[in-house]
């Protein structure tokens, strides 16, 4: 059983974050929360999201799972006006989701979840941790897009840096310690990432003013952030691109 | 003789409605009004419009006709600033329209009306009548565009519905009687229409807050609405797509 | 030596004006100003710009020259937020420009100026002079774009006209003397110009409310305007298209 009501902007944020990596996803239902774990087709990145029932206007669910086509959810979201509440209900007899917004009802076929894995979140020991404003990240990404397809993230005891090196030009975002909300980095660590993945992840964040970044040396990055006014939270993991010497 | 002044937003509305179906149209002039009747090239839809002289800031005309290229009118409209009045004058010696907006004058070649028919408006006996808000129609159309190329319009004694069925999903706009300004429908009637035509028609309406819809069973739909603050009115007719059993 | 700070909107205006004609340009530095002269690849138009040090928040320069890729400057400008000051510094050891905006630093390779000429500004004796509002020019250009690739500029003792003739239609912007800030034209003069060049020039003007136009008979047009609140000024020259009889 699943029956819920959710403000359209919260559903949009959830959908945007997951659709950064996949077009279809398995939503795991429990009595007091909804969780989604997904890995992108190229196995470069992972999202792990938990949305508590407080993120919803109304939430009733038994243990279970729903396979959703995220593009269809986005189509419904485009019908919503500011402040609209969207109603979601699992029609178990016909195995479809009944979605209502305003005077419109959409009967949405569910996606078979048989082929969808339940990825394990790897246990990473990442030595550096920092809390940075999302809009600073966006500026650094925008600057990097002019010169390269990759971006290096660096943490030092003194600050956080994003660096991209092109053929002729290079670009650097420097955030010294006092511009960060938090910084724990005993030594310098640095990893290189594909810029398009990192950019899409950061662009999907609509309400989180800051994100927490965990970083190592040639290691994946972990990006944690709140969703739906902290009634939910999510983690992105992104594999590094190992630089050849 | 034809010489008129018209606010740019009124001329835009007239042009948008007609250009839903045709690129060129014959404007029939009379002493106190202008009428346009046109059928789209595929003979699926018709527009029948009458604009009274009160829709104009100034209007002087003898009986006659002008063949206009609507794309050219739109080009002139793009030069107008909010509140601009556009002046139109028939230069009979050179058979062209002299259009003035601000300090700009465009001499516009007229289109030969010889090949343009005067379509007869068919007399349809449509059992259901309802008055619905234009923005509700727009929402229903937007929803339908995600799932199908067709849209069914239904009237029942209890309300009005717009339904689209896709391969896997379906979408429905339900407007019960109390959300309609008027409803006369003794029994259920239903007709299916090409969504692109219906969508373009409804999108062309810029000032009409409501439209009156006349509906039958596998019959054309008639859509009536006011123009230019009720100084004009227009009717769209759209042929049904008969569903194969 | 070159080290300067400049408001992003001023740098944008300078860049937009020059990039109307070229992608790369030689910036000539002096103790109290910066000048750029460039001719477009087709040798149809020229820009001659001088920006005084007062246009900058800070300006220190020795005699010298910098070859800049204007697209890279535009990339940096897209990172600037309203009111941002951009810092520019020549790193002579590595022959690159260090550009800073907010917390971002871009190291920008310079362009070799060896192949860039120093065009001479021709001495033209143009009999008509007029001062016209930039937004009127924009309206006239927009109207002309519908009918032709060329635009004729005319000055008479009574006013200024912009005329475009298409195959079937023609368009005219008429600005009688009282709508001009200044008019000196003893006789009628008229020259025809490529519309795309003229349009791009006028669109590049962002702060100049009026421009001064010097005009002759089948002669180049000279367009003069202020930049950066009159701390700078620039001249466009555009060759006429001689009409075949």
- pLDDT tens per residue, range B62-90: 999 999 999 999 999 999 998 999 999 99
Here the tokens at position C223 are: 């367009």
Q: List residues bridging with A107 in a β-sheet.
A: A98, B170
Please report residues of A whose CB lies closer than 8 A to that of C79: 139, 142-143
| Gap between the Cα atoms of B112 and B108, Å rounded | 13
The edge-to-edge listing of strands for the beta sheet with C128-133 is C64-69, C24-30, C33-39, C45-52, C232-238, C221-227, C210-215, C128-133, C182-184
Contact criterion met (CB < 8 Å) for C170 and B109: no
| Nearest CA-CA partner of B190 in B226, B163, B222, B227 | B163
Name the residue facing A168 among C102, C103, C109 (closest C-beta): C109
Q: Is the dihedral of CA C110, C113, C116, C121 positive or negative?
A: positive
| Gap between the Cα atoms of A199 and A140, Å rounded | 10
Contact criterion met (CB < 8 Å) for A171 and C109: no
The pLDDT assigned to B79 comes to: 96
Contact criterion met (CB < 8 Å) for B104 and C173: yes
Higher-scoring residue by pLDDT: C242, A28: A28
Neighbours of chain A (3+ CB pairs under 8 A): B, C
Contact criterion met (CB < 8 Å) for C139 and B109: no
pLDDT in tens, B91-119: 999 999 999 999 999 999 999 999 888 89
**Average pLDDT, integer, range A128-140:** 97
Q: List residues bridging with A190 in a β-sheet.
A: A154
Contact criterion met (CB < 8 Å) for B172 and A104: yes
B171: pLDDT strictly greater than 60? yes
How close B232 comes to chain A (CA, Å)?
31
**Average pLDDT, integer, range B168-174:** 97
Place of tokens 């999108």: B203
Going from the first residue of chain C to its last (245 residues), give the mean pLDDT of each consecutive group of 10, the final group possibly shorter.
97 97 97 97 97 98 97 97 95 96 97 90 95 97 96 98 96 98 97 98 94 97 94 97 72
Q: Is B79 on the interface with C (CB under 8 A)?
A: yes
| Gap between the Cα atoms of C144 and C138, Å rounded | 10
Contact criterion met (CB < 8 Å) for B78 and C142: yes
The pair phi, psi for residue B174, each rounded to 5°, is -110, 120
| Gap between the Cα atoms of B208 and B26, Å rounded | 24
Please report residues of B whose CB lies closer than 8 A to that of A103: 136, 139-140, 173-175, 179
pLDDT in tens, A173-185: 999 999 999 999 9
The pLDDT assigned to B206 comes to: 86
Query: How many beta-carbon contacts under 8 Å exist across A and B?
Result: 41
Which of the four pLDDT bands, split at 50, 70 and 90, describes residue A118?
Answer: confident
| Gap between the Cα atoms of A200 and A203, Å rounded | 5
Name the residue facing C139 among B72, B104, B108 (closest C-beta): B104
Best C137, C141, C142, C143 member to test B by mutation, with max B CBs in 10 Å, is: C143
| Gap between the Cα atoms of A169 and C107, Å rounded | 5
Please report residues of C whose CB lies closer than 8 A to that of A148: none
The pLDDT assigned to A244 comes to: 65
Identify the three-state secondary structure at position B107: strand
Q: Is A82 on the interface with B (CB under 8 A)?
A: no
Which of the four pLDDT bands, split at 50, 70 and 90, describes residue B23?
Answer: very high
Here the tokens at position B80 are: 């107008």
Please report residues of A whose CB lies closer than 8 A to that of B139: 79, 102-104
Q: How many CB atoms lie within 10 A of CB A169?
A: 20
- Contact between B67 and B26 under an 8 Å Cβ cutoff? The reply is yes
Q: Determine how β-strand A170-176 pairs with β-strand A104-109.
A: unpaired
Q: What CA–CA distances, in Å, run from C81 to C78, C96, C101, C103? A: 8, 24, 9, 12
Higher-scoring residue by pLDDT: A117, C92: C92
Neighbours of chain B (3+ CB pairs under 8 A): A, C
Contact criterion met (CB < 8 Å) for A169 and C106: yes
Place of tokens 């739109």: B74
Q: Is the pTM of this model over 0.90?
A: yes
The pLDDT assigned to C244 comes to: 65
C64: which residues sit within 8 A by CB, 6+ positions away? C1, C2, C28, C29, C90
Q: What is the DSSP string of chain C?
A: -EEEEEEHHHHHHHHHHHHTT-SEEEEEEETTEEEEEEE-TTSSEEEEEEEEGGGSSEEEE-SEEEEEEHHHHHHHHTTPPTTPEEEEEEETTTTEEEEEETTEEEEEEPPP-TT---PPPP-----EEEEEEHHHHHHHHHHHTTT-SEEEEEEETTEEEEEEE-SS-EEEEEEEGGGSSEEE-SS-EEEEEEHHHHHHHHHH-SS-SEEEEEE-SSS-EEEEEEETTTTEEEEEEEPPPPPP-
Contact criterion met (CB < 8 Å) for B171 and A107: yes
Q: List residues bridging with B172 in a β-sheet.
A: A105, B163
Best B67, B103, B107, B109 member to test C by mutation, with max C CBs in 10 Å, is: B103
Contact criterion met (CB < 8 Å) for C79 and A142: yes
The pLDDT assigned to A242 comes to: 81
A243: pLDDT strictly greater than 80? no
The pLDDT assigned to B245 comes to: 52
Contact criterion met (CB < 8 Å) for C172 and B72: no
What is the number of alpha carbons within 13 Å of residue C112 lying toward its C-beta?
2
What is the number of alpha carbons within 13 Å of residue C194 lying toward its C-beta?
11
Which of the four pLDDT bands, split at 50, 70 and 90, describes residue B244?
Answer: low
pLDDT in tens, A84-109: 999 999 999 999 999 999 999 999 99
In the 8-state DSSP scheme, what is residue B245? Answer: -
Residues C20-25: contacts with CB under 8 Å, at least 24 apart: C20/C45, C20/C47, C20/C200, C20/C201, C20/C204, C20/C236, C21/C45, C21/C46, C21/C47, C22/C70, C23/C69, C23/C70, C23/C71, C24/C67, C24/C68, C24/C69, C24/C70, C24/C111, C24/C116, C25/C67, C25/C68, C25/C70, C25/C116
Name the residue facing A72 among B140, B169, B175 (closest C-beta): B169
The pLDDT assigned to A245 comes to: 52
State which H helix or E strand residue B168 sits in: none
Q: Could you tell me the domains of chain A?
A: 2-109 (3.10.150.10), 128-238 (3.70.10.10)
B158: pLDDT strictly greater than 70? yes
Angle separating helix axes C8-19 and C70-77, nearest 10 degrees: 150
| Gap between the Cα atoms of B28 and B36, Å rounded | 6
How close A87 comes to chain B (CA, Å)?
14
Contact criterion met (CB < 8 Å) for B143 and A79: yes
The pLDDT assigned to B118 comes to: 86
ipTM for the complex shown: 0.91
Here the tokens at position C202 are: 């006028």
- Contact between C128 and C184 under an 8 Å Cβ cutoff? The reply is yes
Name the residue facing C104 among A143, A169, A179 (closest C-beta): A143
Ramachandran sector of residue C228 (left: φ over 0; alpha: ψ -120 to 50; beta: rest)? left
- Lowest average pLDDT, out of A80-84, A142-146, A240-244, B187-191, goes to A240-244
- Contact between B173 and B132 under an 8 Å Cβ cutoff? The reply is no
A167: which residues sit within 8 A by CB, 6+ positions away? none
What is the number of alpha carbons within 13 Å of residue C73 lying toward its C-beta?
28
Exposure string of B203-219, with b = 16+ CB inside 10 Å and e = fewer, is ebbebbebbbbbbbeeb
């Amino acid at each position: 059983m699943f029956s819920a009501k959710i403000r359209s902007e919260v559903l949009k944020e959830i959908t945007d974050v997951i659709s950064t990596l996949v077009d279809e996803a398995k939503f795991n239902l429990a009595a007091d929360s909804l969780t989604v774990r997904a890995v992108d087709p190229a196995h470069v990145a992972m999202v792990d999201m938990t949305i508590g029932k407080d993120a919803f206007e109304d939430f009733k669910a038994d243990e279970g799972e729903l396979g959703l086509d995220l593009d269809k959810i986005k189509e419904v979201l485009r019908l919503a006006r500011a402040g609209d509440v969207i109603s979601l209900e699992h029609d178990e007899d016909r195995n479809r989701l009944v979605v209502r917004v305003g005077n419109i009802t959409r009967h949405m076929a569910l996606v078979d979840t048989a082929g969808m894995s339940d990825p394990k979140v790897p246990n990473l020991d990442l030595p550096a941790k920092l809390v940075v404003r999302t809009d600073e990240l966006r500026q650094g990404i925008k600057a990097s897009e002019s010169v390269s397809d990759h971006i290096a993230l660096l943490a030092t005891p003194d600050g956080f840096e994003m660096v991209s090196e092109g053929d002729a030009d290079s670009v650097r975002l420097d955030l010294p310690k006092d511009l960060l909300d938090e910084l724990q980095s005993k030594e310098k660590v640095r990893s290189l990432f594909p810029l398009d993945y990192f950019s899409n992840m950061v662009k999907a964040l609509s309400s989180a003013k800051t994100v927490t970044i965990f970083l190592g040396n040639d290691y994946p990055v972990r990006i944690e952030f709140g969703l739906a006014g902290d009634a939910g939270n999510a983690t992105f993991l992104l594999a590094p691109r190992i630089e050849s010497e």
